[in-house]
């Protein structure tokens, strides 16, 4: 085999090896700063009870969070919600989006209420109880009902942004 032919084969192999190596790059590479979005909510009929009921709904992230999401990393914004739906943790995280265009600061979850009724103290929490720990896979929205034996519902969109 000639030296030119060996050089051509070696060059071709080098290009192929480089292409294969680049295709094996981790799935998360180049995803920093990417915003993940989804929806969350629930619709229930409260039972007749003394003192109201409490409700909740879970959401899974489509990508693993950069760090564990704790209670303080999830906030519910009610500035576009109808009367009868009130958040109790809106100021916890700097959420500046809307339910039409949900946004979030890096490594935080912002939930934007679009519709609801008979829901107060709406707030976001980790799916791991307590103030320590947290989860990299999802979060929860919870609320109470001020009126017994009545329909309660919350519908919202959410955003989580991977840190840069």
The model's pTM = 0.76
Q: What is the pLDDT of residues 95-111, one digit of tens each?
A: 999 999 999 999 999 99
Q: What is the pLDDT of residues 20-60, one digit of tens each?
A: 433 333 444 445 678 889 899 888 887 766 666 788 999 99
- Mean of the pLDDT values across residues 75-88? 87
CA distances from 18 to 24, 40, 134, 164 (A): 10, 43, 39, 26
pLDDT exceeds 80 at position 81: yes
Q: In whole angstroms, what is the distance from residue 162 CA to residue 141 CA? A: 20
43, 150 Cβ separation under 8 angstroms: no
The pLDDT of residue 4: 54
Q: In whole angstroms, what is the distance from residue 141 CA to residue 78 CA? A: 13
């Amino acid at each position: 085999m000639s030296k030119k032919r060996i050089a051509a084969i070696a060059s071709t192999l080098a290009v192929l090896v480089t292409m294969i190596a680049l295709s094996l790059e981790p799935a998360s590479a180049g995803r920093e700063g990417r915003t993940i979005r989804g929806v969350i909510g629930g619709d229930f009929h409260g039972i007749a009870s003394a003192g109201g009921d409490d409700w909740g709904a879970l959401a899974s992230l489509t990508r693993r969070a950069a760090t564990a999401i704790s209670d303080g990393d999830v906030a519910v914004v009610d500035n576009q919600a109808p009367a009868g739906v009130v958040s109790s943790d809106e100021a916890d995280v700097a959420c500046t989006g809307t339910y039409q265009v949900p946004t979030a600061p890096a490594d935080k979850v912002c939930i934007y209420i679009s519709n609801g009724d008979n829901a107060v103290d709406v707030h976001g929490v980790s799916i791991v109880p307590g103030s320590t720990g947290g989860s990299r896979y999802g979060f929860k929205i919870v609320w109470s009902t001020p009126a017994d034996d009545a329909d309660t519902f919350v519908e919202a969109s959410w955003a989580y942004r991977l840190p840069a």
